[in-house]
A = this chain, B = another copy of it.
């Protein structure tokens, strides 16, 4: 295959490694002074599929007042409970490695794993994240929902680029 589709985690975190407070607040993130859209528009051109966990989906739907924001992409929501009702979304509980294998066999752009922490844990556990684009906000929030949960092995990465967008430090890694 000329250039395989990649699984990319594009995410923001506090300097101490949290993606949200314990009560799902992103206030600390929204008050970070960025610069432009921190590369978001460019990033969105590289993907055509999003994958997220159920809690993230519920958070997004509430934040967007019920309007699903990823209507232009194929969208998968991992859920172990009941499937939701959303024409733009495929609710699934499939085995993640076989899901990734299948989606990579189809032509297309990259796949954005949006989060949250538990879905990322499942992807990391199987070493399925091809690229990380992490925008670090300049704040220690003390505790919350971790970007990286604990696991029992080591994953070496390759640093591609380091950028700043205003007060965000954006680190881009690919799997070795």
A residues apposed to B, CB below 8 Å: 15-17, 28, 124, 132, 134, 136, 138-143, 147-148, 150-159, 161-164, 167-169, 171, 173
Q: Contacts A17-B16, A17-B17, A143-B151 given; indicate if A167 touches B163 (C-beta within 8 A).
A: no
Give the 4 A-B residue pairs with the shortest CB-CB distance, closest first. Answer: A16-B148, A142-B151, A140-B155, A138-B157
Task: Kindly report how many copies of this chain are found in the complex they form together.
Answer: 2
- The smallest beta-carbon distance between A12 and chain B, in angstroms, is 14
CA–CA, A147 to B15, complex, Å? 10
With A17-B17, A142-B154, A159-B167 known, 17 other A-B pairs at CB within 8 A are A15-B171, A16-B148, A28-B154, A138-B156, A138-B158, A138-B173, A139-B156, A140-B155, A140-B157, A142-B150, A143-B152, A158-B167, A159-B168, A159-B169, A161-B164, A162-B164, A169-B171
